Structure 1
Amino acid sequence: MEVRHEADEYEARLADAVSVIRETIRRRWVVLLAVTAAVFIAAFVLVSMMTPVYSATAKVRLDPSRSPLAGNAQQTRAELSQEAIDTELTTIRSVDVAREVVRAQGLTGDPEFADSLNQIRNASLANSEARQTVVANALLQHLAVSREKQTYVLNIGFNSTDPVKAARLANAFAAAYIEFRTKRRVGTAREQSEWFQQQLADLGRQASEAEARAAEFRARAGIVESSAQNGTSGTIVDQQVAPLSGSLASAESDAAAARANLAAARAQVGRGGLDTVSEVLSSPVVADLRRQRAEVLRSKGEVEARYGERHPESIRVRDQLASIDSQLQAESRRIVGSLQATAASAEARASSLRSSLNQLERSRESSVRAATTAESLEREAAAKRALFDKTSQMSLDSMQAASAQIAQAEVVNSAEVPARPSSPNKPLLLTLAFLVAAAAGGATITAQEMLSGGFRSVEDLEAQLGIPVLAVVPRVGKSESPTELMLERPTSMFSESFRIARTAILGTRGDAGVKVIALTSSLPAEGKTTSAVAFARTLAIANARVMLLECDVRRAAVRQIIRGGAPNAGLVELLHGEISLEDAIRPGDVPNLDQILVVSPYFSAENLFGEGRMEKLLDVLRDRYDYIVMDLPPLMGLADGRYLAVLADAVALIVKWNSTPISAAKSALGWLRGDGSKPVGVIYTQVDPSAHSVGGLYYYSKQYSDYYQA
């Protein structure tokens, strides 16, 4: 059910949109027709004046063969990629090819292309080459080049007003392209080969000079290369540092050992004499002397025991023992002295090696800088040598390309003279012109509708203001008077609309609580006064006693639209107390209708309707009449209308169809509600009789034509 309801709503909205469009076209068909006709006629003249253009096409096939330098199939396919085809298309459209065509065909005097020369005022066009360039650029404007699907065939099309010329120049472009392509490729390859040879000579010289500078600097700085086993290089100083560091370490170790032995010997001497020194005890000489001393001591004891102490043999043995002791002391002192000499020698050697190493370290700083410079020179030489090698390979490829066969192109289909023009397609252009003209007419009437700024339907009005539409009053012809129309044709559409308003305000049986009915508008010239007069007449014709009270004192327009002469006194004089009520009342132009009008426009800063004067007047009139119709001034810009609307039992707001601004109507309705008035609805005035989408009130349509007086 919900889906069905949404479908019904969509159909209703679509029907409303169609009705709005149909209504707009019906009201503004003259503008639509005029704009459409004007645009179409202008387009028809332009299409008729167009010169027919003929197009001829020559087909050129590219040779897909590849230079023998291609290494694999993938390289062969790469030459015929879309980028390669686009390059060939650009070549055909180049100025050089076009200039060859101009020169070969002698087109500098052709009026179809040479007009561009007359449009350029430049002294440089005096030479033939400049003139050919200008004509070539003009010629390219007529050229169309494309690839035929995914094939190797290129379409070369040319447009001209002469069919024979179109075919001739299309073939000329194909021939010029093939010749230009072959010459350019061979010439380019040879020029590249010559350029490479010149570059190789310069690069070879630069590489040799760089290698020579590197070698000379290495020799001058003493930088040598080591064996190929470790793959390193360095200076002579670098090579001397490592062995010298090892010798220094060994010498310092020996010196430390010698110092330790000497210190130990001196300590032993201090504790017990030379005999306790380890080196002395371990000396073979000392050991032999001790053995001899032991033998002599043993002999001494035997001799002294046998001969006595004074015997010469005993003396000899004692002398021999003293000699051995003397030798032992001498040998011990020699060993200790040897330790001192060894320690001093080791210390001197270590000091010498240390001094030499320090001197090498100082020399090493400058050698490091020299090595860095040497490496930089070697890198430069290597880079130039690599560039030379790469350029040499490129030169070899270029020379091979110069001697290799260049891929060719051939014409597979020459251009033929076209039998019919390719453009303009006049039937299509005229169809498009008609559609554009119709769109321009539609846009014009749409802009008129959008710029109108007012309400265009009952639904729109009720949705915007939130109050019902009491009646829709049709617009009458320019030759007719709305007020006279009601009297002359009481059964017309205009008269019927106010009877509908009466029923909407009072109800089908009449509302006894509504006696004072005020009609007002937001702005002037919306049909307020005419509606008030017509509504009062409608009530009077229905056998009700009616008082028409004109309260728009600044305009005083009622006297101009009713029958009868102008009054001598009216509402202003009555409220001032200058005349009585009986003197102010005048009979209307229909039975049961009385009027209190304004003699002439009245401008004053006083509160004419204040101080209870208007309330008292209405109280008196309520007792004498069934209904009181008040014609109030507009609400915007005037205060009287808002003050008087509060005194009415019902207020009807007049809104002019397609004219009253929406904001103005909203503001007026808001003021009425804010002041405490009783707005009961809107009387929609001056509606186009042909407007069908007015909220379901279709009594202006042809279906109701029999119900109204023509």
Structure 2
Amino acid sequence: MYQPREHFPSGHRFGIEFGGAVLSFERVADVLRRQWPIIAVCTGASLALVIVYLIMAQPMYTANARIMMDTRQAQVLDKDSNANSALIDTGYVDSQVEVINSDDLILSVVRRLKLTDDPEFNGSNPGLLSIVLGKFMSLFGTGEPASQERLEHAVVEQVQKNLRTERVLTTYVLSLNYRSRSPDKAAKIVNAVASAYLVGALEAKYQSTKRATEWLQQRSIELSEQATASDRAVQTFKAENNIVGTSRGLMSEQQLSDLNTQLVQARASTAEAKARLDRITAISDQDVAQSTVTDALNNSVITRLRAQYLDLQAQYADWSRRYGKQHLAAVNLANKMEELRKNIADELHRIGDAYRSDYEIAKSREASLEKNVKELVAQAGDTGQAAVKLRDLESAADTYRNLYNNFLEKLQSATQNQSFPLSEARLISTAAKPDRKSSPRTVLALVGGLVGGLCLGFGAAFARELLSDVLRTPGEVEDELGVKCLGVLPDIRPPTKTGALLSTSGKTGPPDLSRYVVDHPFSRFAETLRNIKVSIDVARLTREIKVIGIVSSLPKEGKTTVAANFAQLIALTGHRTVLIDGDLHTRSLTRELAPNAKSGLVEALSDPASLGYHVQRSKETGLDFLPSVVASRMVNSADVIGSKAMADLLKVLKEHYEYIVIDLAPVMPVADSKAVSFLIDAMVYVIEWGQTTRSALQESVSGSEVLQKKLLGAVLNRANPKMLKRIEAYKGKHHNSYYVEHA
């Protein structure tokens, strides 16, 4: 059944999604089947233009030479150079491309090869196109003969146009290609350009080295004079200020340094003597018999006396314990111990006097050194400003001397380079005579023409489809309406000037179109109508369908012919069928089938019981036909066709007929079909193939919700048989073998 409004795509969506549906492979295939003649014509025209070009084009030959930027040649005179430091900047290689294409280099080649006398360059043997262009350009010129300079400049531009220089990928190799009509001339010119570049590179390096050598010589002389003057100024200043230098610097500075060293050593000696004296003084205040005294001094005399003291002390302790401290032997031992303690104390005093003497001597020596240092410092202060000035003069002298040595080294290197000029470029591939033409490339041109023609054809085909708002395939109908397309009816009209079904005399078409299924029962037209009947019969299994309306969006889309043939087809199968002319405006079906009728639908509406008096029957098919006979157009035709009387009439007809087929008025011009739609059981929508637009279809169907619900299906009418054959090529060549189009 018919779906809601969103199934009718807007115009914007149509432009993007191609005909209201997503662009798919099947839809592309349909477009190609319909539009293949356009593609074929565009492809053929493109190939024809390519062939004409290949016939008329002048064959050209290209010669190639290659030059390499080799930095290792420049290292011959510089053995200490590092290979990594000799890499060439990529920008330098790209710059050489512009050097090769420069006017000066090409001009040298033109003069060397005398190309101004060559017919290919001086225009002495022009073609037809060149003659025409020359005459045209002469209208804007001065008319004066060209000078030699202008001729050379024109030849240079032509050589630059045919010369292509490029870098080979990311290498240091330059590829030179030259195009010419003659293969010998192409090789000759490209080799001359390569040779001129190499010679020019050597000449440029020689000139730059020469200029650098001259400048270095002049600068070296100036630096030599400045260095000599600076050395002379240093010596004069030393003599004026009595400054004597040694290998370690100035004499006063050397003396001061030595005194400072001696002063530091004297202060250390004084501190050491003072420490010994303080220690002996501290020990003298302690018990001389303690072990710390002996260990601190490390004196052999004190050590021996203490040993004796310790032996007596041990013996004294033993005897005191045995005999008592008052015993004479114990008293003698105590006296000896006291005498030993006195001897140790005397030795300590002697050592202390020696330490005190050493300390006094160290202090005197330190004071003497301090006095000498102060005197030298005072003396150095007087010559400080002279030393500062001397350092400035010596620094300037060293700078000039170093600059002079560096410039002298560079001068020697530049002199060697000038004597042995080496270029960083070398020819690695000499151009040979090309044995085949480089342009035009026949195969490439034909392939390009074929691809270009196909692209143009595809573009034209899809543009035609995208810009077209009409329907041509069942898929487009189903996407647009949301109902099944019941078939595609071929155009059965005979060839006429207007190509329309109805002639200007008012008839609906040739007299036999309304009975085409009778004369051609096995034609595709008849089989498609049978498919519509089968679809209706299948739908009748689930609901009652007796009243069938045949409707279209606009007039002259063939609905009347479809209705007449459909009704006759059903009648031929033996079913009781009545055909009603429901178009009260044009009554085209009545003029075709019953032009002499005196009464019909309007009279039957007034008295349904008298229906039999108004119905006409075909003896050949058994089809009953209810015509419409009115004197003039009815103002209230919509009210009449949708009235209660029409409902009563249809009720009577349902009792006598199995199929009631009504040819309704078009939906867009008048409201009759919408008014009677609630009385119709099912509607078949007739769409003219390649003529009915989507916009018209949307406006027609979306205007009535009842009509949308009653739509059973649609049928494409008046399809071009030849194009239809192309569209349905995917069905195979035997698809139409069952059809018999002849009577």
Which of the five TM-score ranges fits, normalised by the shorter chain? Answer: 0.5 to 0.7
Conservation of the 8 A alpha-carbon contact between 2:580 and 2:660: yes
Structure 2 CA distance for aligned equivalents of residues 129 and 528 of structure 1: 83
SS in 1 for 2:737: helix
Q: What is residue 583 of structure 2 aligned with on the other side? A: 552
CA-to-aligned-CA distance 1:9-66 (integer Å, 9 cap, x gap): xxxxxxx978766665555554443333222222211122111111223344555322
CA-to-aligned-CA distance 1:377-413 (integer Å, 9 cap, x gap): xxxxxxxxx9xx9999899969964762443245455
Q: What is residue 178 of structure 2 aligned with on the other side? A: 158
1:518 deviates by 0.9
Q: What is residue 642 of structure 1 aligned with on the other side? A: 674
SS in 1 for 2:532: helix
Question: What amino acid maps onto 1:661 in structure 2?
Answer: T
Match of 1:45 among 27, 48, 52: 52
1:151 deviates by 6.6
Structure 2 CA distance for aligned equivalents of residues 641 and 697 of structure 1: 38
1:70 deviates by 9.5
Q: What is residue 369 of structure 1 aligned with on the other side? A: none
Conservation of the 8 A alpha-carbon contact between 2:34 and 2:727: no
CA-to-aligned-CA distance 1:122-181 (integer Å, 9 cap, x gap): 779955444423321221111123456777654433210012211221121122112222
Structure 1 CA distance for aligned equivalents of residues 473 and 629 of structure 2: 35
Structure 1 CA distance for aligned equivalents of residues 671 and 114 of structure 2: 88
SS in 2 for 1:58: strand
Alignment map for 1:214-225 (pairs within 5 Å) = none
Match of 2:595 among 565, 587, 596: 565
Q: Does 1:421 align with 2:441?
A: no
Structure 2 CA distance for aligned equivalents of residues 537 and 529 of structure 1: 12
Q: How many residues are treated as equivalent by the alignment?
A: 513
Structure 2 CA distance for aligned equivalents of residues 390 and 465 of structure 1: 96
CA distance 1:467–1:600, change in 2 (3 Å): farther
Q: Does 1:78 align with 2:94?
A: no
Q: What is residue 33 of structure 1 aligned with on the other side? A: 40
Q: Does 1:514 align with 2:514?
A: no
Q: Does 1:437 align with 2:453?
A: yes
SS in 2 for 1:705: coil
CA-to-aligned-CA distance 1:81-103 (integer Å, 9 cap, x gap): 43333232331122221111122
Match of 1:497 among 512, 528, 537: 528
Conservation of the 8 A alpha-carbon contact between 1:585 and 1:594: yes
SS in 2 for 1:514: coil
SS in 2 for 1:683: strand
Conservation of the 8 A alpha-carbon contact between 1:147 and 1:155: yes
Q: What is residue 10 of structure 1 aligned with on the other side? A: none
Output the TM-score relative to the length of structure 1. 0.60
Q: Does 1:461 align with 2:477?
A: yes
CA-to-aligned-CA distance 1:445-478 (integer Å, 9 cap, x gap): 4444444434444344334433233444334364
Question: What amino acid maps onto 2:60 in structure 1?
Answer: V
Match of 1:173 among 193, 204, 209: 193
1:613 deviates by 4.5
CA distance 1:201–1:677, change in 2 (3 Å): farther
Question: What amino acid maps onto 1:52 in structure 2?
Answer: P
Question: What amino acid maps onto 1:419 in structure 2?
Answer: D
CA-to-aligned-CA distance 1:203-225 (integer Å, 9 cap, x gap): xxxxxxxxxxxxxxxxxxxxxxx
Match of 1:538 among 569, 575, 595: 569
1:687 deviates by 4.4
> Which moves more between the two structures, 45-54 or 416-425?
416-425
Conservation of the 8 A alpha-carbon contact between 1:556 and 1:600: no
Q: What is residue 74 of structure 2 aligned with on the other side? A: 66
Conservation of the 8 A alpha-carbon contact between 2:69 and 2:93: no
Question: What amino acid maps onto 1:538 in structure 2?
Answer: L
1:531 deviates by 1.3
Conservation of the 8 A alpha-carbon contact between 2:590 and 2:627: no
Alignment map for 1:81-96 (pairs within 5 Å) = 81-96=89-104
> Which moves more between the two structures, 458-467 or 47-56?
458-467
Unaligned runs of 5+ in 2: 1-22, 124-129, 223-398, 496-509
Conservation of the 8 A alpha-carbon contact between 2:212 and 2:414: no
Structure 2 CA distance for aligned equivalents of residues 676 and 436 of structure 1: 46
Question: What amino acid maps onto 1:632 in structure 2?
Answer: L
Alignment map for 1:288-327 (pairs within 5 Å) = none
1:571 deviates by 4.7
Question: What amino acid maps onto 1:465 in structure 2?
Answer: L
Conservation of the 8 A alpha-carbon contact between 1:54 and 1:159: yes
Q: What is residue 114 of structure 2 aligned with on the other side? A: 106
1:197 deviates by 10
Alignment map for 1:209-288 (pairs within 5 Å) = none
CA-to-aligned-CA distance 1:544-596 (integer Å, 9 cap, x gap): 34332223333333245x3553545555677799xx86675444574232131
Conservation of the 8 A alpha-carbon contact between 1:657 and 1:684: yes
Conservation of the 8 A alpha-carbon contact between 2:589 and 2:627: no
Identity across matched positions, percent: 27
Question: What amino acid maps onto 1:550 in structure 2?
Answer: D
Structure 1 CA distance for aligned equivalents of residues 658 and 171 of structure 2: 97
Q: What is residue 685 of structure 1 aligned with on the other side? A: 717
Match of 2:165 among 110, 132, 145: 145
SS in 2 for 1:66: helix
1:105 deviates by 2.1
Question: What amino acid maps onto 2:49 in structure 1?
Answer: A
Question: What amino acid maps onto 1:421 in structure 2?
Answer: K
1:510 deviates by 7.7
Structure 1 CA distance for aligned equivalents of residues 217 and 702 of structure 2: 96
1:107 deviates by 2.3
Structure 1 CA distance for aligned equivalents of residues 108 and 216 of structure 2: 30
Question: What amino acid maps onto 2:578 in structure 1?
Answer: M
Unaligned runs of 5+ in 1: 1-15, 203-385
Conservation of the 8 A alpha-carbon contact between 2:488 and 2:719: yes
1:627 deviates by 3.1
Conservation of the 8 A alpha-carbon contact between 2:520 and 2:740: no
> Which moves more between the two structures, 389-398 or 686-695?
389-398
SS in 1 for 2:683: strand
Q: What is residue 656 of structure 1 aligned with on the other side? A: 688
Match of 2:204 among 184, 190, 210: 184
Greater relative contact order: 1 or 2 (C-alpha under 8 angstroms, separation 6 or more)?
2
Output the TM-score relative to the length of structure 2. 0.58
Question: What amino acid maps onto 1:415 in structure 2?
Answer: A
CA distance 1:398–1:177, change in 2 (3 Å): farther
Question: What amino acid maps onto 2:56 in structure 1?
Answer: M
1:71 deviates by 7.1
Question: What amino acid maps onto 2:717 in structure 1?
Answer: T
Structure 2 CA distance for aligned equivalents of residues 680 and 107 of structure 1: 84
SS in 2 for 1:501: helix
Q: Does 1:474 align with 2:490?
A: yes
> Which moves more between the two structures, 517-526 or 660-669?
660-669
Q: Does 1:483 align with 2:514?
A: yes
1:69 deviates by 7.6
Question: What amino acid maps onto 2:447 in structure 1?
Answer: T
Conservation of the 8 A alpha-carbon contact between 1:669 and 1:679: no
CA-to-aligned-CA distance 1:355-376 (integer Å, 9 cap, x gap): xxxxxxxxxxxxxxxxxxxxxx
Structure 1 CA distance for aligned equivalents of residues 514 and 203 of structure 2: 96
SS in 2 for 1:702: coil
Structure 1 CA distance for aligned equivalents of residues 555 and 648 of structure 2: 28
Structure 2 CA distance for aligned equivalents of residues 616 and 426 of structure 1: 80
